[in-house]
A and B are shown apart, each in its own frame.
Chain A
């Protein structure tokens, strides 16, 4: 694990080297063990400041980052921009100026426009962590997914994961599939043709039905959230039809049990859409583990990145 090049920002998965991924995932393990203790804090980032900058509503991710930063003993400021006063386009540079003046060491940013975290990163010495930008990337989600899979499958290489749902509009699908591929895990996708773009990816196998999925024998099934707010057009006829075609129901749970396959979801789930109540209680669901690992992975990311705030 020696001689990693210092990295200032975490913007996507594509640009990460395998050694960096290993470094973060391995460091996340002791951070997670910390959660069993009565004192869950380490002093690593005492005196450092983390700015949580969310241009898109998100309770889960922003809270996860906040908890992670708190457990690292950093000071956290939450800066949520309501969607009504969306600051985008022209004023982005002005916003960065303002951020600079706040002298944060870490900026966690979620933005509806792809590429914005990169623009912020270029214009500040703070370490920028992309917490989701448009359809582009959500690297900490991918890292927590990988951590979760590695816990249940220490022999993860060569395992198979199928991602189900809206691939076209999903930054989670992009980042997680890329990371799993880098780790040597096979990835397939299931979803309607209107949401699973043809010929965009070099490594994802397209499956066309649950029968094909179960024949493929996945080790884990990763359900994506149906992003109702992102459906600017009609990509499928109705929620009911989506549920019937692609949702996880009791019938499909039987096949899951037969295979011993795990169930994952980035949250928050739409019950009755991509998953039934019964499937939520599936004994091999990793959904809560994902949430817990999210905090550990984010602590490991804060620990890993090297801000250049001294140079400002």
Chain B
């Protein structure tokens, strides 16, 4: 590719350190490195000038919970469409879940996934591995081979390890390799065929419910096993206030535990589910307004470490069946930044610094990467955000293959204009 130098003029730089934004010009050289940050920079010959007046320059986000669906479910999403969606949403790095077909449960499969990524993807994609063989929850997967290939975490992706004894062995074994054990906390015996949060809403819809205790008991169990074994534990997709309280208590006790929350669990609840709309069917399910409030508070006070989208593409056809039969999940890579800006930053509830801490820095640190920042000498990895514009989520807007999102049709404040990764500018 013929790289060119680019001068981003008059943008305001967002950082993790302060809600304040600094107006500056940024020169990105032909190697994709931020060479100069200053005021009143002039473009030399051959330098492309990009006017960023009124816009923000924000460090690229990092999403530790993404289902790329390739290999095996390319009708839902491919690595290429997943990467395109990420870039379109201001996300410049992701951790891929291992629930592909076949599930990634050995060093060889990690290797082939990594090879596929390196051929296709314009962004960093880190392939995670399974905790148990085939995600079946019966035998340990090939930890050492996967560790040797540098998996960032082990998880059975949307499945809990049902047996507490096996979960204990997973943690004991993972500790030897210093592997992060990531749990989709859920108690299958309580969740059963549930489709929606158990309560008034599930009763009214006549749908089998998933009780809050299904996640809460699993969180308590996993925390206790982590304390017992000393393994590092990351909890995916917190959904209830009580679950968060468990995490807070564990952290106070010095347990090595982190947790994530999605944009949908922050801003949507069971009352938003209208007319059996399956785009609102998630696992864990959307809970109550009180849970929303507690999770937002937890995100702000830091007891929730990070934001992760649980980008889970499905075809419109798959989602068009009845609520009970439709698969769980929706896409999130292209909506998370916009939704969080619209609902929180734009309303003064928190600043860009918090979003960068929770969706750019903390996720990278979780898997041992250095945070990215817009500074001289660093590789360019940021996006241009126009806070005065707005974005309507539509099939045309989305670059993911899956037009499934609970925000479909909504007009959100703000717009992501461009994403820069190294010397490449993605419009």
B318 near A90: Cβ-Cβ < 8 Å: yes
- Given A119-B276, A200-B199, A200-B200, decide whether A113 and B205 contact each other with a Cβ distance below 8 A: no
> Which of these, A89, A93, A174, contacts B206 with CB under 8 Å?
A174
A115 near B323: Cβ-Cβ < 8 Å: yes
- Given A114-B276, A118-B276, decide whether A89 and B203 contact each other with a Cβ distance below 8 A: no
- Given A118-B275, A118-B276, decide whether A197 and B321 contact each other with a Cβ distance below 8 A: no
B323 near A114: Cβ-Cβ < 8 Å: yes
Task: Report how many residues on chain B are interfacial, defined by Cβ distance under 8 Å.
Answer: 20
- Given A93-B320, A113-B324, A119-B322, decide whether A199 and B206 contact each other with a Cβ distance below 8 A: no
Report if A171 contacts B (CB, 8 A).
yes
What string of 1s and 0s marks CB contacts (under 8 Å) between A178-215 and chain B? Answer: 00000000000000000001011100000000000000
From A118, which residue of chain B is reached at the shortest CB distance? B276
Min CB–CB distance B129 → chain A (angstroms)? 30
From B321, which residue of chain A is reached at the shortest CB distance? A89
> Which of these, B203, B205, B208, B321, contacts A88 with CB under 8 Å?
B321
Min CB–CB distance B291 → chain A (angstroms)? 16
Min CB–CB distance B358 → chain A (angstroms)? 33
Contacts of B204 in A (CB 8 A): 14, 174
Min CB–CB distance A54 → chain B (angstroms)? 16
In the complex the two chains form, what is the Cα distance from A29 to B326 in whole Å? 42
B207 near A136: Cβ-Cβ < 8 Å: yes
Contacts of A111 in B (CB 8 A): 322
Min CB–CB distance B188 → chain A (angstroms)? 13
In the complex the two chains form, what is the Cα distance from A200 to B207 in whole Å? 13
Report if A92 contacts B (CB, 8 A).
yes
A93 near B276: Cβ-Cβ < 8 Å: no
Report if A116 contacts B (CB, 8 A).
yes
Report if B325 contacts A (CB, 8 A).
yes
A171 near B199: Cβ-Cβ < 8 Å: no
Q: A90-B321, A113-B323, A114-B324 are in contact. List 12 more A-B contacts (CB 8 A).
A: A90-B325, A92-B320, A92-B322, A93-B317, A114-B207, A115-B276, A115-B324, A116-B322, A136-B206, A200-B199, A200-B200, A200-B203
> Which of these, B199, B324, B326, contacts A134 with CB under 8 Å?
B324
User: Which residues of A does B touch, CB under 8 Å?
Assistant: 14, 88-90, 92-93, 111, 113-116, 118-119, 133-137, 168, 171, 174, 197, 199-201, 232
Min CB–CB distance A235 → chain B (angstroms)? 13
A115 near B205: Cβ-Cβ < 8 Å: yes
- A-B contacts, 23 of them at CB < 8 A, read A89-B321, A89-B326, A90-B318, A90-B321, A90-B325, A92-B322, A93-B321, A114-B205, A114-B206, A114-B323, A114-B324, A115-B207, A116-B322, A119-B276, A134-B324, A136-B205, A136-B207, A137-B206, A168-B203, A174-B204, A197-B203, A199-B199, A232-B192
A201 near B207: Cβ-Cβ < 8 Å: no
B207 near A135: Cβ-Cβ < 8 Å: yes
In the complex the two chains form, what is the Cα distance from A90 to B320 in whole Å? 8
From B209, which residue of chain A is reached at the shortest CB distance? A197
Min CB–CB distance B145 → chain A (angstroms)? 36
Q: Count of A-B contacts with CB under 8 A? A: 67
From A178, which residue of chain B is reached at the shortest CB distance? B204
Contacts of A114 in B (CB 8 A): 205-207, 276, 322-324
B325 near A89: Cβ-Cβ < 8 Å: yes
In the complex the two chains form, what is the Cα distance from A111 to B276 in whole Å? 15
Contacts of A116 in B (CB 8 A): 322
Highest count of chain A CB atoms <10 Å: which of B200, B203, B322 = B322
Contacts of A171 in B (CB 8 A): 206
Contacts of A136 in B (CB 8 A): 205-207
In the complex the two chains form, what is the Cα distance from A88 to B323 in whole Å? 11
Contacts of A137 in B (CB 8 A): 206
Contacts of B205 in A (CB 8 A): 114-115, 136
From A202, which residue of chain B is reached at the shortest CB distance? B200
Min CB–CB distance B409 → chain A (angstroms)? 16
What string of 1s and 0s marks CB contacts (under 8 Å) between B244-282 and chain A? Answer: 000000000000000000000000000000011000000
Contacts of A119 in B (CB 8 A): 276, 320, 322
B203 near A174: Cβ-Cβ < 8 Å: yes
> Which of these, A90, A118, A201, A232, contacts B203 with CB under 8 Å?
A201
In the complex the two chains form, what is the Cα distance from A177 to B323 in whole Å? 24
Contacts of B318 in A (CB 8 A): 90
In the complex the two chains form, what is the Cα distance from A311 to B400 in whole Å? 35
In the complex the two chains form, what is the Cα distance from A90 to B205 in whole Å? 20
In the complex the two chains form, what is the Cα distance from A174 to B192 in whole Å? 22
From B275, which residue of chain A is reached at the shortest CB distance? A118
What string of 1s and 0s marks CB contacts (under 8 Å) between B311-335 and chain A? Answer: 0000001101111111000000000
B200 near A89: Cβ-Cβ < 8 Å: no
Min CB–CB distance B245 → chain A (angstroms)? 20
In the complex the two chains form, what is the Cα distance from A14 to B320 in whole Å? 23
In the complex the two chains form, what is the Cα distance from A197 to B208 in whole Å? 12
Min CB–CB distance A234 → chain B (angstroms)? 13
A88 near B276: Cβ-Cβ < 8 Å: no
From A91, which residue of chain B is reached at the shortest CB distance? B321
B206 near A135: Cβ-Cβ < 8 Å: yes
Min CB–CB distance B177 → chain A (angstroms)? 40
Contacts of A168 in B (CB 8 A): 203
> Which of these, A14, A88, A93, A201, contacts B200 with CB under 8 Å?
A201
